[in-house]
Amino acid sequence: MRSSSRGLAVALAVSLASSHVALAAPKDKPAPAGATLPAEVETVESLYAKLDYENASLVAERVLKGKGLSHDQLVRTYRVLAVTYAILDKEEQARDAFVQLLVYEPEYQADPNLGPKVNTPFVEARGVYRSLPAKPGIEVSTNVRSDGGTIRVTTRDPTRIVKKVMVGWRWTSAGEYKTEQLAPGDAVVEVANAPTGRTRLDFYAQALDERDNAVLEAGNAQVPKSAFIEATPQVGAPLKREEGGSVLSSPLFWILTGAAAVGGGTALFFALRPGDPPDRASLGPVLFCGTNRCN
């Protein structure tokens, strides 16, 4: 392993190191004319799976030479490129590619089964990444109201690869986004009023490099993040009676029913008793011995 004293200086000086390498078509598997970027990325992964490391790295280099890579495409391509560089004994290029991969995917871990040839440059790259003055990333917070709101975007870019930030938002679950370009750093986007009946705001934020590749992102147009307008209860609003309940579930029903049952039982007793109707005094307890009053 080389001394790590070179690590930070080299990593910060190299932006997408492999994209500056002269590209050549694979010797025996040229990419078809007009191939789309997704097809090219799949070709890279297919060649790697077939252990064709040289051609896999060459196609990966060509992919990174293009423009407009999504964050997923960028990460997938660098995963293959970094490992194939290491396997092909291009240790310095492998280390630089691993640094870029960690910027795009901080949770990446090299497969330990690939041995020291791959893990040595990866460990060096991880040391360089951890030595950066700030952890690369993009954070988004929202303040959403029915009368509009804001989207705040904070970009951390110690490697200086981010050239602009694109933010998109919409009040509908489908259709076009309203987009706005921001400068890297800390910026705020104003959101227009929500249409009647709309409570969910879909949004995303992407940090783009000089080739419009999405090097950092918080959501995207296909899989956006969402924020919701919080319902605020009206002050002094009357409580609504629960609808659909049975009469039998009402406490008042059982109180009245109980009172009626007691009164009815008393009336029935005196109705069946021979003699004068009861007065207030006769409502007291009376003992009977057979059919006669006990003395």
Q: From CA 74, how far away is CA 45, in angstroms rounded?
A: 12
Q: Which residues pair with 138 in a beta bridge?
A: 155
Amino acid making up residue 145: R
Q: Which residue has the higher pLDDT, 108 or 175?
A: 108
Neighbours of 29 (CB within 10 A): 15
Domain with CATH 2.60.40.10 in the chain: 137-228
| DSSP single-letter state for residue 170 | E
pLDDT > 70? residue 144: yes
Tell me the CA end-to-end span of the chain in Å, nearest whole number: 117
Amino acid making up residue 124: E
Note the pLDDT of residue 38: 76
- Condensed to tens digits (0 to 9), the pLDDT of residues 214-267 reads 999 999 999 999 999 976 555 555 545 444 455 455 555 444 555 444 454 444
Please tell us whether the domain made up of 137-228 is placed in CATH 2.60.40.10. yes
pTM score, whole prediction: 0.66
pLDDT > 60? residue 108: yes
- Tracing tokens 């041995």 back to the chain, one arrives at 115
Looking at residues 158-184, what average pLDDT do you find?
94
Looking at residues 53-69, what average pLDDT do you find?
95
Note the pLDDT of residue 146: 87
Looking at residues 139-163, what average pLDDT do you find?
94
